[in-house]
Amino acid sequence: MKKQKTYKVGVYLRLSRDDGDNVESQSITNQRAVLDSFLKNSKEQLIVINEYIDDGYSGSNFDRPAWKQLMIDVNNKKIDTIITKDLSRMGRDYIGMGQYIEREFPEKGIRYIAKEDDIDTLYETPGIEYLQFKLMFNDLYLKDVSKKIRRVISTKKENGEYLGWKGIYGYKRDPNNKHKLIIDEEVRHIVERMFNLVLEGYSPRQIANKFSEEGIPNPSCYANLKRGTKTLSSNLWCARTVEELLTNPTYIGHLTQGRRKKLNYKSKKEVRVPKEDWIIVEGTHEPIIDKDTFVYLDPPYRPISQTANFTSYNADCFDDNEQKRLASFIDEINLSGAKIML
pLDDT at position 175 is 92
pLDDT at position 61 is 87
Is the pLDDT at 314 greater than 60, yes or no?
no
Residue 230 CA, chain-centre distance (Å), reads: 20
Strand partners, 256: 280
pLDDT range class, residue 328, cuts 50, 70, 90: low
Q: What span, in angstroms and rounded, lies between the C-alpha atoms of 251 and 183? A: 10
pLDDT at position 319 is 53
pLDDT at position 329 is 58
CA distances from 283 to 144, 155, 180, 190, 256 (A): 34, 17, 12, 22, 11
Query: Mean pLDDT of all residues in the chain?
Result: 82
pLDDT range class, residue 126, cuts 50, 70, 90: confident
pLDDT at position 228 is 78
Please say whether the beta carbons of 122 and 111 come within 8 A. yes
H-helix or E-strand spanning residue 138: helix 131-158
Give the three-class secondary structure for 143: helix
pLDDT range class, residue 2, cuts 50, 70, 90: low
Give the three-class secondary structure for 39: helix
Burial class of residue 332 (count of CB atoms within 10 Å of its CB; 0-12, 13-18, 19+): exposed
Most confident of 76-80, 91-95, 143-147, 148-152: 76-80
pLDDT digits (tens, 9 = 90+) for 46-85: 999 999 999 989 888 899 999 999 999 999 999 999 999 9
Q: What span, in angstroms and rounded, lies between the C-alpha atoms of 329 and 342? A: 12
Please say whether the beta carbons of 91 and 59 come within 8 A. yes
pLDDT digits (tens, 9 = 90+) for 177-221: 999 999 999 999 999 999 888 888 888 899 999 999 999 999 989
